Structure 1
């Protein structure tokens, strides 16, 4: 199978996710990145750590077959993480996803991994990851808007601020 359409689509999607997440992170300081709207909500740093854990589970372990020990519960523990560390996670880990998409063989895209007791192809898993990270990206935008209010700058379309 030749999956050039999926490769291009997925590469563009993960590049967009990375770019827009970086634009949000750039607008915030360390305290805002670690702020939780309420005790039952997640901070941006928690969400980024969760995305990192998901990449570790679905891409590194599931597609690249590198064994690891993911602790999903630890991803949602309140831990103060500096902006530079979060930027590095987004930059490096999404680049890993992009590199994987660009170098994986067509045959490997059709291989399966078990996710919640269900066999899924690696291609399906990559599309699921794109959807999952997009959902969390929306949460990042919302938290950033709560922190920045009128000072928030959209990550999708440049809109000059009006006075």
Structure 2
């Protein structure tokens, strides 16, 4: 059961990373840094925040508080990433830190207590907390992508108007165990 949990959450995180990757590929450089209004965040700023959070939460995951004293959370919301390459470097660095931490976990680690801002969480609770947090921000990135690309947007799931044909195809196949992310985690 625990091995299934670790494999499942890794697959879920991979899915949300893929959604971000495929959104970045559809945006031009200007769109990555476009801030709709004073209170909103650009795609680059959301990436910077996720990067800061990921490095803080997943570095020394089992041994140190998830809110590191070196983290500068408020600075994560300054729109100062200057290039697509810098954005992608931070994005990939954050995810690499997460995946390395997940890959290092053993079944017996799942019930251990760790701390985030001096509040105790089981490892499962801490992972679930991040599995709620990152998709929230990836959803913001995808939403901005859809706004900026407008009619040029290429759907990352089942395009509008295609649900019936998608379902017909799925039900025509032999039954087999498949996680919902499998159908979307395909190379471009």
TM class, shorter-length: 0.7 to 0.9
**Matched-pair contact (CA < 8 Å) for 1:32–1:147:** yes
- 8 Å contact kept, 2:146–2:153: yes
Q: Establish whether residue 136 from structure 1 lines up as the match of residue 134 from structure 2.
A: no
RMSD: 2.3
Q: Which moved more, 1:64-73 or 1:136-145?
A: 64-73
Give the 3 Å change call, closer, same or farther, for CA 94–157 of structure 1 in structure 2: farther
5+ residue gaps, structure 1, are: none
Greater than 6 Å deviation, 4+ residue runs: none
- TM-score, normalised to structure 1, is 0.85
State the partner residue of 1:113. Answer: 114
- Counterparts of residues 51-90 of structure 1 (less than 5 Å): 51-63=50-62, 65=64, 69-90=70-91
Q: Deviations over 1:42-85 (max 9, x none)?
A: 11111111111111121114436496610000000121431122
Distance (whole Å) between structure 2 residues aligned to residue 64 and residue 15 of structure 1 = 24
Q: CA 1:63–1:157 in structure 2 vs 1: closer, same or farther (change >3 Å)?
A: farther
- Would you say 1:29 and 2:24 are equivalent positions? no
Any gaps of 5 or more consecutive residues in structure 2?
A: 161-188
Residue-pair matches, total: 159
Normalising by the residue count of structure 2, what TM-score does the alignment of the two structures yield? 0.75
Query: Looking at CA atoms only, which structure, 1 or 2, has the larger radius of gyration?
Result: 2
Change (3 A) 1:35 1:123: same
Higher relative contact order (CA 8 A, sep 6+): 1
